[in-house]
Structure 1
Amino acid sequence: MKKKWLTSIAVTTIMGALITGCGQQSTASKVESKKGSIENQLVIAGNGAEFENVMRDDIFKQFQEKYPEVKISYVSGVSGDIVAKVRAQKASPQIDFAIVDSNSQEIGRKEGLWQKVEKKDVPNLEKAQFGSKAKDNSGVPVFYSTMGISYNKELVHSKGLPVPKSWNDLNNPKVKENLVLSDISNNFGRTTLIMLAYANGGSEKNIDPGFEKYAGIASGLPTFLNNTAQIQQALQQKRAAYTVWNSNRSLTLAASGIPMEFVIPKEGTILSTQFANLVKGAAHPKAAKKYIDFLLTDEVQKTLGEKLYLNPVTDVKLSAEASKKIDFDKSKAVNVDTELVSNEYAKWVERFNKEVATKVNK
């Protein structure tokens, strides 16, 4: 669009077995809480790294102050892998709800992996005003971030490298020599492809210019890095100066002492919304709905905004410092058709492997 979480959390051996997908689905035991009957187990899937840390160290604790009986397990991974796990467990779900990006959310919706969620299930849903929406109430938006180009300011200045202003600057030879990119198997790579199309007269509906430009960029790269930890390590060790990332990753890395800057190129940004999706047939649906609703409270939205620099989907007031860092020109958000992207994605991957991936290291 033109864009630390385990104090007193008991992760039991039984739940560990569940995550592997082995054995039969458990029968959820019930206990009485102040809010009524609720299961005492909950399995959540979502991003790892800093997001997982904040979930375990902060948000789990906040939730358990309200529902101390609920024992939470967390399955970390990238969105595509999480959807693959949910798909594999479809006959006997082991994950109760999954937080994934918009493309993976839409793939899961079309495959019937998500249970419809309405305001009666998640009353705070009416507070979600920003970011994109899930089709057919199939998911709940919980935060979003802008997508753009991140660069190491010190390295760029010391080498006399250009500060990127356009998506086409990724094809500048001086940039390519100091660039790490992902292929389109993840959100960073898909964004690069789509925005290269926009920067050259196309769009998600006319993706040819994006493939043409991506192939030119690939010819100057030694490989694609799809592991976020590897990308971050390359930036920290100054083996690379640039990458395509979302704003919050650049800001959290900067907060750790790495002089990262984030740029929304002149052609615009895609807003990367993350959705909480209730798994159809989940073993603990009541606890899942309570947690999803909790994610939309002011206290959690504020935690995500101020600790991870994730844009809230509600109108919560953040600290002046956090607000200044995550604010952006809303007119630069490109309204991408996520359903079309999801429908074309398999074809895009096949084409990318033939036309772009083969150009790497050549």
Structure 2
Amino acid sequence: MKILTVLLTATSAAVALGVPLANAQSNSLTVAWYGGNWGEAFQACVAAPFTAQTGITVVADIGTSTTTLAKLQQQASAPTIDVAYLDGGISELAQAAGVLAPIDLETLPNSKNLLKEAAYRDSDAVFAVSGGYYSLGLTYRTDEINEAPTSWEELWNEDHVGAVTIPSPSNSAGVPFIFFLNRMLGGAPTDVSETFERLSQLDAGLFFDSSGAASNAFQSGEVTIGAHFNVGAWALADSGVPVTFVVPQEGVWATDARLHLIKGGPNPAGAAQFLDTAMSAEAAACLAEKLYLGPAITGVDLTPEVNRKLPWGEKGSVSDLNLSDWNEVNGRRAEITERWNREVAR
């Protein structure tokens, strides 16, 4: 009965996506996702259960969001990828590039539990669904700082001169983090002058281009406080590095890892079923336990230990996250990066 249900769901999705029934089933599916512990978690939490349910083998295409988008654009006429995980921001660029297929949520049973804000639309068409949220909050070494910081203003504390880190515009969080700081400092949306003046006064030990570089800097002691992702910070803490992650009183900047169907992908029916598996409570709970991703669906039961490490902190929820207007960020990315290079990265 379970196999029959899966086949009927896949066939329904195939019809909704305009796929001939003769081609609705295939024994493999190519999914683009990130490397490292992210890819390992996607394999364990989504791909393995999907294969167990459907018999379809998942082939991982590992890369960053930007490299995946470049590949999708290069392969637009004959894509080899069926499903792609892309970060917020790159997701909007992929939709604008015309490489994504619409997602018919009505054919996916688990979508009934999807948070309203976790379905991304272009006009009336859904082009992405969230696979889980992560945030950029304050991280610090507990062997160097005794009292937990409560504000982002702590970055400018003279006690931390030369030992602070924040993302550079080369990191996906860099430009939106500047917009976040600008709101925090009371700047007008179109005027980031005060924010750049403050950033130019920041005596940083590292402007990190990758989350791995930030983790290495905290691990080595090169930096003692700064902005870091809850995923990376808690991974360090779990491995025994004396660091912890806090949600400051001004909140945290956040985004999510999103799933997309690829236009013209080889196995659209299997791809739709993969998205359905990714929206299950079991997958969301598994990703929360392995990566501390905040679930994008309702009805996920987690332990207090996992709950406190989610992107919104122990007592928060997705409504507490500061999520970016990616169209604004992408539209001003070049301008902000040029100003950063001129005024901050001197």
- TM bin, normalised by shorter chain, reads 0.7 to 0.9
Q: Give the aligned residue type for 2:163.
A: N
1-side partners of 2:88 and 2:188: how far apart? 17
Q: Give the aligned residue type for 2:211.
A: T
2-side partners of 1:80 and 1:135: how far apart? 21
1:119 corresponds to which of 93, 105, 121: 105
- Is residue 2:341 matched to residue 1:341? no
- Is residue 2:237 matched to residue 1:237? no
1:59 corresponds to which of 46, 57, 69: 46
> Shift in Å at residue 311 of structure 1?
0.7
- Relative to structure 1, is the Cα distance of residues 267 and 222 closer, same or farther in structure 2, using a 3 angstrom cutoff? closer
Aligned to 2:131: 142
Q: Give the aligned residue type for 1:78.
A: T
2-side partners of 1:266 and 1:231: how far apart? 22
2-side partners of 1:244 and 1:88: how far apart? 34
Q: Give the aligned residue type for 2:86.
A: V
- Relative to structure 1, is the Cα distance of residues 333 and 230 closer, same or farther in structure 2, using a 3 angstrom cutoff? closer
Maintained 8 Å contact 1:38/1:287: yes
2-side partners of 1:188 and 1:215: how far apart? 18
Amino-acid identity (%): 24
> Shift in Å at residue 54 of structure 1?
1.7
1-side partners of 2:282 and 2:188: how far apart? 38
- Is residue 2:305 matched to residue 1:321? yes
1-side partners of 2:116 and 2:172: how far apart? 19
TM score, norm. by length of structure 1: 0.80
- Is residue 2:234 matched to residue 1:246? no
- Is residue 2:104 matched to residue 1:104? no
TM score, norm. by length of structure 2: 0.83
Maintained 8 Å contact 1:44/1:75: yes
Structure 1 unaligned regions, length at least 5 = 1-32
Q: Give the aligned residue type for 2:152.
A: W
> Shift in Å at residue 95 of structure 1?
2.0
> Shift in Å at residue 150 of structure 1?
1.1
Superposed CA deviations along residues 219-258 of structure 1, whole A, max 9, x for unmatched, are: x335533132222122122222223122222222212212
Classify the secondary structure of the residue corresponding to 2:208. coil
Aligned to 1:26: none
Classify the secondary structure of the residue corresponding to 2:136. strand
- Is residue 2:172 matched to residue 1:184? no
Classify the secondary structure of the residue corresponding to 1:286. helix
Classify the secondary structure of the residue corresponding to 1:142. strand
Structure 2 unaligned regions, length at least 5 = 1-5, 12-23
- Relative to structure 1, is the Cα distance of residues 53 and 336 closer, same or farther in structure 2, using a 3 angstrom cutoff? closer
> Shift in Å at residue 78 of structure 1?
2.7
1-side partners of 2:139 and 2:106: how far apart? 40
Aligned to 2:271: 288
Maintained 8 Å contact 1:148/1:269: yes
2-side partners of 1:203 and 1:293: how far apart? 41
Maintained 8 Å contact 2:214/2:228: no
Mean Cα deviation higher: 257-266 or 323-332: 323-332
Classify the secondary structure of the residue corresponding to 2:25. strand
- Is residue 2:22 matched to residue 1:39? no
Mean Cα deviation higher: 322-331 or 336-345: 322-331
- Is residue 2:23 matched to residue 1:49? no
2-side partners of 1:273 and 1:257: how far apart? 26
- Relative to structure 1, is the Cα distance of residues 61 and 132 closer, same or farther in structure 2, using a 3 angstrom cutoff? closer
1-side partners of 2:333 and 2:209: how far apart? 17
Superposed CA deviations along residues 251-276 of structure 1, whole A, max 9, x for unmatched, are: 22212212221122222222312210
Aligned pairs for 1:187-202 within 5 A = 187-202=172-187
1:95 corresponds to which of 74, 81, 102: 81
1-side partners of 2:226 and 2:326: how far apart? 23
2-side partners of 1:207 and 1:133: how far apart? 30
2-side partners of 1:146 and 1:174: how far apart? 25
2-side partners of 1:97 and 1:60: how far apart? 11
- Is residue 2:194 matched to residue 1:209? yes
Root mean square deviation of aligned Cα: 2.5
